[in-house]
Amino acid sequence: MSLRRRIFALVVILATTVVLWQGAIRAQTVPASDIRTLMADLSDVKTTRRDTVTRILQVASKDPSAREYVLQKLPEMIEAGTDEPWLNAIRLAGQMKAVEAIPSLMQEMSRRTFPAEPIISGGGLMRLDNDIVAKALSQIGDAAIPSVVTLLKSSEASTRRRAVLILRNIHSNASRKILQDRLPQETNPDIKKLIEDSLHS
């Protein structure tokens, strides 16, 4: 190969490397800036759009730093938010399995139940479609179990029922074990039947 061809080949390789390097830089920085804008949009009912949650999930799934940013923001949005931003933050917490949001979600369990889905069927009640906070905890999975167990000790039957439904929807070996242990202790016949049905589902 002549010297001229070698130089040309070297220039091509260097140019390709620069383009790839610039692309990698863009891939790392653009989602990070996008996620800040999207989270700001999500926190304001005037700016949030129907697809904002979907877009946040897409960016966070591709960029670990973007995911970390969302996970840091969710607890304060859940605790301070109202209306649509509050609902969207809770949906995100469940879909992202945000362990960081568990304490905030547990605080929100003191609120009245709020629908997670616009249309609720009989089966939807069992899937917590009528209870967005409990549904998010169930989506987080086993990491939420220690917190949910505390709800089983409540004197309020409605709270214990919500806890049983969360454990039912987690549907893991660990959640089944908690339900089995709770069964002989439960005094409410309706909740006892729910536990039995959950263990056989």
Residue 181 amino acid letter? D
Mean predicted confidence (pLDDT) in 180-194: 97
For residue range 68-81, what is the model confidence (pLDDT) as tens digits? Answer: 999 999 999 999 86
Any residues with CB less than 8 A from the CB of 84 and at least 6 apart, and which? Answer: 45, 48
Q: How many residues does the chain have?
A: 201
Q: Judging by beta carbons within 10 Å of its beta carbon (0-12, 13-18, 19+), is residue 16 exposed, middle or buried?
A: exposed
Say how far apart CA 188 and CA 54 lie, in whole Å: 40
Q: Is 184 helix (H, G, I), strand (E, B) or coil?
A: coil
Cβ of 145: how many Cβ atoms within 10 Å? 18
Q: Are 158 and 111 in contact (CB under 8 A)?
A: no
- pLDDT tens digit string along 18-47? 444 444 444 444 445 689 999 999 888 888
Contacts of 149 (CB under 8 A, 6+ apart): 163, 178
Model pLDDT for residues 120-150, shown as the tens digit of each residue: 777 888 999 999 999 999 999 999 999 999 9
pTM: 0.80
Task: Please give the structure tokens belonging to residue 52.
Answer: 């904002």
Query: Is 13 a residue whose pLDDT tops 60?
Result: no
